[in-house]
Structure 1
Amino acid sequence: MGAQIIPIVMPKWGLEMREGTVQDWLVKEGRRIEVGEALVDVETDKISNAVEATDAGLLRRIVGQSGETLPVKALLGVLAESEVSDAEIEAYIAAYEVPAAGGDEGEAGPSFEYADVDGIRVRYARRGPEQGTPVLFIHGFGGDLNNWLFNLDAIAEKHPVIALDLPAHGQSQAKLPGASIAALAEFVLKFLRAAEVTGPAHLVGHSMGGAIAIQMAVSAPARVASLALVSPAGLDTAINSGYTDGFVQAQSRRELKPLLEQLFADPELVSRQMVDDMLKFKRMDGVEPLLAELGTALFGGGRQSAMLADELAALDKPMLVLWGNEDRVISSTQAANAPPHAKVIRFDATGHMAMLEKASEVNAALQRHLSGG
């Protein structure tokens, strides 16, 4: 057996990714690579992100070139020590075949499932092992389960994972169970029963989804094992209503793009496809008036209607709070209202979408939190 050749491949980010476009390599051939080092920027139809090294070694060959669109698991580069000959590397590259999509364990079967909850059809996804306490991911206002595309598979390595599209969001039905955090929390508790989660679940909530998670823990503490909150609503009254109102009212790419850019510290992360997908969602029959109703009820006049900081402080649950210091939707100063026993992590150069902008750090923090660390 000769010295090892290690492939660097196009990752699969999220449930729907089939291919990615190579943008810029961040390292050069001949460089020694450390685990976790950012190697190459890749753009998908959802967002751009850096591919990080899963192995250490010497970068001997860059295969995927800037501008190339390649399928998931295609060869991007090769790591090998200097004793491996160039001829061996060329032979390895020539012989490399992209594994068939869906060949992985756990990728068999449908990517999505559907449940009927109080007459509302809900799309959701399951990943990970069958045993263990499930982790439920709850997205924010105007989002969907794809907001967690960099997080679900990472957490599913050790835990059962469920992510849903809230009512009138994503591909769930355009109906609301009520335009309040309490009504949405009650709905998500019923969803868990419909998804056959009978014991407690770990909740991970973003923005509006954070307030829903807090309310679920307040209303039904026995159903909640822990809370992880990313830029959550519910800790103070202030919110950027220019974003929430503007998002509801935007009718064109020109109007929507600068609003979506407010979600990120780096506006370059807002791809054309992201804007187009959001417009397509907003134009779905019945969605826009429901978003307007929800936005007015929850965030009307630039004030959050659900104030949950006191209730949160009274909860005896493991608690993680993650916030971007450049959050332009809900200020990171509100992290000061988290309970004293909460673990609070603030990220520099990060906006409202820390789970996308700082996926590796968020995933590591979530894994520590879920393992009791």
Structure 2
Amino acid sequence: MPVHMITMPKWGLSMEQGQVNGWLKALGEKVGKGDEVLDVETDKIASGVECAFDGILRRQIAQEGDTLPVGALLAVVSDEATTEAEIDQAVEAFQRDFVPASADTADVGPQPEKAQIGGRTIRYLKIGEGGTPVVLIHGFGGDLNNWLFNHADLAAHRAVWALDLPGHGESGKAVEAGDADELAASVIAFLDDRGIGRAHLVGHSMGSLVAMTVADKAPQRVASLSLIAGAGLGKEINREYIDGFVAGSSRNTIKPHLTKLFADPSLVTRQLVEDIVKYKRLEGVNEALQKIAASAFEGNVQRKLYRDRLATLAPRTLVIWGAQDQIIPASHAQGLAGDVSVHVVEGKGHMVQMEAASEVNRLLNDFFGD
């Protein structure tokens, strides 16, 4: 068996380094493809680094507390037959040849852009080329960075677009009714403006409701629907979270609500909280979020549901949920009528596309199939 290297991943376009928070697998322990081996924190979020190989964890190169650049050696995986001398030789060769990318020379790749679409500013990001395009639609209070662990893997074989919905991120903050119809119309206008005739729509949370509304309004534009922790598939929603997110304006008032997004609350980093607080303080944000919330929810009940006709909205539909979702119950994934593919990921929460990025990316790529 060859000597396999686990290196510091690059999560998102701006990541340059990560800090090792701790090891999740012990030295000498068997590891499998998809197992989380250690925990790394970036300036955006903490997450587990997954192993891409089957074997035994033979070396823990990085130590807890180390801050290392993208691409740096973290661990070595091999089998029992590989000698210590062979591992020493492989590690020495890697370390000798590894050159960290500097801020001046790093290839940061595509960057978000902005365009005037339908009378408002829309920020978007495109990665990859060819294939049937994928369009990623974030949830309530989110932005295109909610997909930072997914962009690159999904763009390996196709063009992938992500946008900030009106009222969110760096798109224009003004909304009229703020309902799903208005947000869906902005997505259709985006497709028109970017020349995207037909796309796989991937929605997270409220973005799922928006994606289904696009499919309802313009079915010819939708190659498939992928709904992650989707709104619009059942009545219940954690209104306390929605109200707390809207009302929160400081680190102390908003962090307790953000921790509900993850099964592991330690994944909410200081930078993540500060980014949300900065967004919440922008002019027009609270008014937009209040309108969107009022149009989407009545008490603890979602107003607009597609559950009974989900299977008729698109040629194919995939539903993914985190079993420990504290915002929208994972039970909404059960009992869906028609030919709908459903995957519930154990031990993960509402932001399952971040917490279980590799698994979600595999499910999506297999589902797209092109």
What is the TM-score of this pair, normalised by structure 1? 0.90
Q: Is 1:122 the counterpart of 2:145 in the alignment?
A: no
Deviation for aligned residue 1:187: 0.7
Q: In structure 1, how many angstroms separate the alpha carbons of the residues matched to 2:182 and 2:120? A: 13
Q: In structure 1, how many angstroms separate the alpha carbons of the residues matched to 2:245 and 2:151? A: 26
Paired residues of 1:178 and 1:184 also in contact (CA < 8 A): no
Paired residues of 1:138 and 1:163 also in contact (CA < 8 A): yes
| Identity within the alignment, % | 44
SS of equivalent to 1:262: helix
Paired residues of 2:140 and 2:205 also in contact (CA < 8 A): yes
Paired residues of 1:17 and 1:44 also in contact (CA < 8 A): yes
1:308-347 equivalence runs, <5 A: 308-336=306-334, 338-347=336-345
Paired residues of 1:139 and 1:165 also in contact (CA < 8 A): yes
From 235, 238, 241, the equivalent of 1:237 is 235
The corresponding residue for 1:88 is 89
Paired residues of 2:3 and 2:87 also in contact (CA < 8 A): no
Question: Cα 1:30–1:325, aligned 2, differ >3 Å: closer, same or farther?
Answer: closer
SS of equivalent to 1:142: coil
The corresponding residue for 1:175 is 174
Q: In structure 1, how many angstroms separate the alpha carbons of the residues matched to 2:207 and 2:287? A: 20
Q: In structure 2, how many angstroms separate the alpha carbons of the residues matched to 1:340 and 1:77? A: 45
Map Cα deviations across residues 235-286 of structure 1 (whole Å, 9 max, x no partner): 2332211111111001222221111111122212212221111111101122
The corresponding residue for 1:63 is 61
Paired residues of 1:218 and 1:311 also in contact (CA < 8 A): no
- How many residues align? The count is 367
The corresponding residue for 2:302 is 304
Question: Cα 1:32–1:337, aligned 2, differ >3 Å: closer, same or farther?
Answer: closer
SS of equivalent to 1:226: strand
The corresponding residue for 2:141 is 142
Paired residues of 2:32 and 2:53 also in contact (CA < 8 A): yes
The corresponding residue for 2:263 is 265
**Partner amino acid, structure 2, of 1:341:** D
SS of equivalent to 1:259: helix
Q: In structure 2, how many angstroms separate the alpha carbons of the residues matched to 1:108 and 1:48? A: 20
Q: In structure 2, how many angstroms separate the alpha carbons of the residues matched to 1:338 and 1:137? A: 23
SS of equivalent to 1:126: strand
Q: What stretches of structure 2 of length at least 5 have no aligned partner?
A: none
Deviation for aligned residue 1:9: 1.3
Paired residues of 2:222 and 2:314 also in contact (CA < 8 A): no
Q: In structure 1, how many angstroms separate the alpha carbons of the residues matched to 2:180 and 2:276? A: 23
Deviation for aligned residue 1:117: 1.0
Question: Cα 1:337–1:297, aligned 2, differ >3 Å: closer, same or farther?
Answer: farther
Map Cα deviations across residues 266-315 of structure 1 (whole Å, 9 max, x no partner): 21221222111111110112211111121112124222222222442433
Question: Cα 1:361–1:6, aligned 2, differ >3 Å: closer, same or farther?
Answer: closer
The corresponding residue for 1:133 is 132
Paired residues of 2:13 and 2:109 also in contact (CA < 8 A): no
Paired residues of 1:9 and 1:75 also in contact (CA < 8 A): yes
Deviation for aligned residue 1:94: 4.5
SS of equivalent to 2:261: coil
Paired residues of 2:18 and 2:42 also in contact (CA < 8 A): yes
Map Cα deviations across residues 179-213 of structure 1 (whole Å, 9 max, x no partner): 1101110110111122221x210000011100000
Question: Cα 1:134–1:177, aligned 2, differ >3 Å: closer, same or farther?
Answer: farther
